[in-house]
A and B are shown apart, each in its own frame.
Chain A
Amino acid sequence: MDTILHISNLTKTYQSAGRTLTVLDNINFTVAAGSTNAIVGPSGSGKTTLLGLCAGLDRATSGIVELNNINLGKLSEDQLAQVRNQYIGFIFQNFQLLPTLTALENVMVPLELRGEKNIRARALDLLDKVGLSDRGHHYPTQLSGGEQQRVSLARAFSNAPRILFADEPTGNLDAETSEKVVKLLFDLNKEAGTTLVVVTHDLELAAKTQRIIRIKGGKLVADELTANA
């Protein structure tokens, strides 16, 4: 299987009140294309920082992040933006929909950026897949949390990403809605053959992936395959 993400000697430090704070310390792992992965760990362990670095949202202090054979550390901010648009999908804990755009428009944005054709039909198709074809003209504030996360799913898959990063995708949802959203996430992922990296401390969700990477105090403490592998 091809490697889609290669992390090598990754370290991230911050300067805080004159002290150097090491958030991630010499992390190494690779992610195979098409696989599903969970990064788990307690609060403050550095999981979100790791996700930010993997997705090119932040720059490492040292080490290498290679996504689809592209060394992210050597790219300009605009090239990173292009990489995100071309290869990456995002799901956030608090949905992060653009509040002034309708659900349909939110789904259309990544496609519009790529200058693709038949955008509207494809976005509507995706909304249909997440069961929101009749809510396309609604604004995020007019949707429930679960509905917003489904729009977010549709948006994440709209640009057919090679890899999808999900940061606590069920963190803001009740148990029942969480279950529906997770099912949808894995179904869509399977259908699209996308690589999935989920950051979560929900072990039940983590168990649905093929591999669990455990982080503690900024260090990779365990990397194990699950029964789904």
Chain B
Amino acid sequence: MENNPNITKRKINIRWLFNMALRDSRKNRSRLLLFISAIIFGIAALVAIYSFRYNLQHDIDKQVATLIGADLVVSGGKTVDPTVEPLLASLGDRRSEERSFPSMVYFPKTQGTRLVQVRALKGEFPYYGSLETEPVQAGTDFKNGQKALIDRILALQFNVRVNDSVKVGEVTFLVAGILDKAPGQTGISSGVAPIVYIPLQYLEQTSLSKKGSRINYSFYYKYDKPVDIPKVVKSIEPKLEKVQMGIETVEIRKENTGRAFGDLTRFLSLVGFIALLLGCVGVASAIHIYIREKIASIAIMRCLGVKASEAFLIYLIQIIGIGIIGSVTGALLGTSIQHVLPSVMQQFLPITISTDISWLAIGQGVLLGIIISVLFALLPLISIRNISPLNTLRINYDEVNLLRDPFRWLVYLLIVGFVVTFTYFQLDSWLGSIFFTIGISIAFLILTFIAWLLMKLMRLFIKSTWGYLFRQGFANLYRPNNQTIILIVSIGLSTAFICTLFFIQSILMGQVKLSSSGNQSNMILFDIQTSQQKDIAQLTKQQHLPVIQQVPIVAVRLDKINGHTLADVIKNPKLNIPERAFTWEYRVTYRDSLSATEKVIKGDWVGKADPGKEIPVSIEDNFSKRNHVNVGDHLVFNVQGVSMNAIVSSVRQVNWNKIQTNFQVVFPTGILEDAPQFHVLLTHVPSAKVSAQYQQSVVRRFPNVSIIDLGLVLSIVDGLLDKIGYVIRFMSAFSIITGIVVLIASVRISKYQRIQESVLLRTLGASRKQIFAITALEYLFLGMLSALTGILIAAAGSWALAKYSFEIPFTINWLPAILLFFIISLLTIVIGLLNSRGVLNKPPLEILRGN
């Protein structure tokens, strides 16, 4: 193109562009706001989650010391090795000692028994925070006598009050106080195993600290003067590692807690992001129609000398403007919603959550809202560049050319890039974010394809013999200016997302319930001494309960794998053996045959050991994969200090879904019979009453035996899943609302599109009823098809998640899906009809003039 001296070069006048953007939006502001309201809820969800995350992080920083209650904690799962005793005694300025273990306790007043976490404590622990009790002084006073603190859950369950008694092992304690809060304790953890504190000096008398009991030894240290804790840790860690003791500091706990809840908030932000994406699809389609209506105006401006880039900028300014309004509104809404989150989440959290306004979250939300609304609006906006001034003389809007526009593909690339990057920041995994983006894209493509197919099929199948209303209603699905694709995509995506949440929740719940159904074992007795084994089986039978399984358990550790020790593995990571293979304490059993839930997939099962030879052990499939151990490999086990050379004789596949004792390693008979061991007994109790009676009789005769009532645990898990489900539903509600807003926006756009022809039909004499029926038919069909497609996508998605992510069998609960199908279909018709009301109720001329 040549430079011609007769053409004055003109610079873009930004001020004028803003002025024009404002003027041009005049008669469309309510519509633009409706479009942008689709992103409000997505932004609100994200800002709420971000605010919650930042407040949580801040609160963890502030309260982390109270989570562990000391500057340094050393703990281990076995009796303290005498070689480190001097070291342990030298640490800190103030020291406390605790031994904790699961045990049954008995409340004489109500004759109730329950498995609890007993904590026998000596010293002034906690140094940060306090044992919050009622009465307040009980938190420190209980250590001065034969007194105990019991968790409030126990007090409520067994109607225990202060000054009642509780029997722990062979000692009866006076209940000095009801425990409301201990360091690091959450509502959920105390629900599964409520805490009972007793003074350490009485532990021996309870007879619960015998050999074979699973006691955790903890030492709490407080430094009165500032000390470089990481330096201390570095100096003592190797020594303690040797005797299998672990260290925890405020910093380590801070990291772990932050990471754990980081995962949760990341997942929730992803849920919010889906709501936002859904809204953006709505915005893109609404802007597409908006720009289509603006072709004439843009062509006039082009005639008057407005450059293509200036016309593009005028509308871009409008989109940024409404993007800001939508994002700020969303951020304000999110900031108020975040007040609800702590009350929902408090159950899971060991700290008190504040609900301060987080300007960082608001800023991120607003920025994200603007970027994403502009990014999605760019798709229709770039077509402005192609609008010719010739449209003033004749409308000539060639859509086919737009697909060939390289900028369009650049925008697609930008959107995909943005989604992948944003998801990466939430998931912290490129693979995960790519899968997420691919999943969303596949759902999007399927829905677009279904809509396209529907239009093709309708065109083919509508017969002239059909009634006029049916022909008209169905023809609306493919005629020019139809909303078929956008409605099917937006309604279908919302349905798919909501339905996936329901499916996954019910699959997980079903999995838990499956385990407790029928005659499967629902009560586990453990810590049974060898001498008690027969008596307990007899007691169980006396109570007319089945002894489903009775197995010996021996705690062992791995010292060597094919000659390599932990030290070798640390030194040489190329050995490809995980460190935890050596640090883990394995609970193994010995028997001469396979159980019903196992099958050998490699090698041969050997049930009896040959004296003097390597011990033939059977390993579980996952153990084999995780530690890269296979048939013929050599293992050295450490059984309570005794080294045992073993060879892998077989690899088993185990069905872990059945509630029964399953093992990673099984020894043959003839080796471990004399090793220190305890036994486990599984039975099935038919009711809560029988359960209580049985537990009482066991605990009275065998105070060292612990009982897990799976019914109780399941009800807690049930409650937990319910609460998690509530949080997820709360977040997915944003998607639902967004879906509805998108639906309203899409239907309202179609109203503008359809108004002319409805008016024409009315002018030609169509009755209100006929127009009503035509509209209802169209939306009914759209709603039903979108909901159905969405549900099928959800079923496929849930299947993939169940199979590849949760690795559990896929089952489906169709009831919520059917309900959802009807709700979505109905909602689509109702919104469609409500929007058409304007056309139905007014005389045709009034609308023609107004338009």
Q: Which residues of A contact B (CB under 8 A)?
A: 48, 51-52, 55, 57-58, 68-70, 74-79, 81-86, 90, 92, 96-101, 105, 109-110, 112-115, 139, 155, 159, 167
CB contacts (< 8 Å) of B307 on chain A: these are 77-78, 81-82
**Known contacts A81-B307, A81-B308, A109 near B301 by CB under 8 Å:** yes
Q: Bound state CA distance, A81 and B600, in angstroms?
A: 80
Q: Bound state CA distance, A109 and B301, in angstroms?
A: 9
Q: Bound state CA distance, A115 and B19, in angstroms?
A: 13
Chain A residue nearest in CB terms to B26 = A100
Q: Bound state CA distance, A206 and B27, in angstroms?
A: 38
Interface SS of B by simple majority: helix
Q: Which of B26, B304, B390 contacts A113 (CB 8 A)?
A: B304
CB contacts (< 8 Å) of B20 on chain A: these are 109
Chain A residue nearest in CB terms to B2 = A74
**Extra pairs beyond A57-B303, A78-B308, A86-B7 (16, CB < 8 Å):** A48-B393, A57-B392, A57-B393, A68-B6, A69-B6, A81-B307, A81-B308, A82-B10, A83-B7, A84-B303, A85-B306, A86-B8, A96-B300, A99-B27, A100-B23, A114-B10
Chain B residue nearest in CB terms to A113 = B305
Interface pair B388/A58, CB less than 8 Å apart: yes
* A-contact bits for B380-396, CB 8 A (1 contact / 0 none): 00000000111011100
Interface pair A84/B300, CB less than 8 Å apart: no
Query: For the complex, is B24 an interface residue (Cβ under 8 Å from A)?
Result: yes
Shortest CB–CB separation between residue B624 and chain A, in angstroms?
68
CB contacts (< 8 Å) of B393 on chain A: these are 48, 51-52, 57, 92, 167
Shortest CB–CB separation between residue B17 and chain A, in angstroms?
10
Q: Which residues of B contact A (CB under 8 A)?
A: 1-2, 4, 6-10, 13, 16, 19-20, 23-28, 296-297, 299-309, 388-390, 392-394
**Known contacts A68-B6, A99-B27, A92 near B297 by CB under 8 Å:** no
CB contacts (< 8 Å) of B302 on chain A: these are 81, 84
CB contacts (< 8 Å) of A78 on chain B: these are 307-309
Chain A residue nearest in CB terms to B9 = A82
Interface pair B305/A84, CB less than 8 Å apart: yes
Q: Bound state CA distance, A139 and B27, in angstroms?
A: 10
Shortest CB–CB separation between residue A228 and chain B, in angstroms?
27
Q: Bound state CA distance, A82 and B10, in angstroms?
A: 8
CB contacts (< 8 Å) of B390 on chain A: these are 52, 57-58
CB contacts (< 8 Å) of B301 on chain A: these are 98, 109
Q: Bound state CA distance, A110 and B302, in angstroms?
A: 11
Shortest CB–CB separation between residue A6 and chain B, in angstroms?
14
Q: Bound state CA distance, A114 and B9, in angstroms?
A: 10
In the complex, which of the residues A69, A81, A92 has the most CB atoms of chain B within 10 Å of its own CB atom? A81
CB contacts (< 8 Å) of B299 on chain A: these are 96
Shortest CB–CB separation between residue B113 and chain A, in angstroms?
78
Interface pair A84/B1, CB less than 8 Å apart: no
CB contacts (< 8 Å) of A86 on chain B: these are 7-8, 305
Q: Bound state CA distance, A76 and B7, in angstroms?
A: 12
Q: Bound state CA distance, A83 and B300, in angstroms?
A: 15
13 A–B contacts from the bound complex (CB under 8 Å): A51-B393, A55-B303, A57-B390, A57-B393, A75-B1, A76-B1, A79-B4, A86-B8, A96-B299, A100-B23, A100-B25, A100-B297, A112-B13
**Known contacts A57-B389, A98-B297, A100-B26, A79 near B7 by CB under 8 Å:** yes
Interface pair B4/A90, CB less than 8 Å apart: no
Shortest CB–CB separation between residue A142 and chain B, in angstroms?
11
Q: Bound state CA distance, A139 and B28, in angstroms?
A: 14
Interface pair A115/B10, CB less than 8 Å apart: yes
Interface pair B10/A112, CB less than 8 Å apart: no
Q: Bound state CA distance, A114 and B393, in angstroms?
A: 24
Q: Bound state CA distance, A131 and B308, in angstroms?
A: 33
In the complex, which of the residues B10, B25, B303 has the most CB atoms of chain A within 10 Å of its own CB atom? B303
Chain B residue nearest in CB terms to A95 = B300
CB contacts (< 8 Å) of A101 on chain B: these are 23-24
CB contacts (< 8 Å) of B296 on chain A: these are 96
Interface pair B13/A79, CB less than 8 Å apart: no
Q: Bound state CA distance, A81 and B25, in angstroms?
A: 23
Shortest CB–CB separation between residue B839 and chain A, in angstroms?
19
Shortest CB–CB separation between residue B321 and chain A, in angstroms?
15
Q: Bound state CA distance, A69 and B2, in angstroms?
A: 13
Q: Bound state CA distance, A30 and B9, in angstroms?
A: 27
CB contacts (< 8 Å) of B28 on chain A: these are 100
Interface pair A75/B4, CB less than 8 Å apart: yes
Q: Bound state CA distance, A65 and B388, in angstroms?
A: 18
Q: Bound state CA distance, A96 and B392, in angstroms?
A: 7
Chain A residue nearest in CB terms to B299 = A96
Chain A residue nearest in CB terms to B6 = A70
CB contacts (< 8 Å) of A52 on chain B: these are 390, 393
Chain B residue nearest in CB terms to A74 = B2
In the complex, which of the residues B7, B8, B299 has the most CB atoms of chain A within 10 Å of its own CB atom? B7
Chain A residue nearest in CB terms to B303 = A90
Q: Bound state CA distance, A155 and B23, in angstroms?
A: 17
Q: Bound state CA distance, A58 and B630, in angstroms?
A: 77
Q: Bound state CA distance, A55 and B23, in angstroms?
A: 27
Shortest CB–CB separation between residue A172 and chain B, in angstroms?
14
Shortest CB–CB separation between residue A223 and chain B, in angstroms?
23
Shortest CB–CB separation between residue B20 and chain A, in angstroms?
8
Interface pair A48/B394, CB less than 8 Å apart: yes
Q: Bound state CA distance, A76 and B308, in angstroms?
A: 11
Interface pair A115/B13, CB less than 8 Å apart: yes
Q: Bound state CA distance, A100 and B300, in angstroms?
A: 12
CB contacts (< 8 Å) of B394 on chain A: these are 48
Q: Bound state CA distance, A112 and B25, in angstroms?
A: 18
Q: Bound state CA distance, A70 and B1, in angstroms?
A: 12
Q: Bound state CA distance, A101 and B303, in angstroms?
A: 16
Chain A residue nearest in CB terms to B24 = A100
Q: Bound state CA distance, A51 and B7, in angstroms?
A: 21
Q: Which of A70, A81, A109, A139 contacts B4 (CB 8 A)?
A: A70
CB contacts (< 8 Å) of A98 on chain B: these are 23-24, 297, 300-301
Interface pair B16/A85, CB less than 8 Å apart: no
Q: Bound state CA distance, A55 and B25, in angstroms?
A: 29
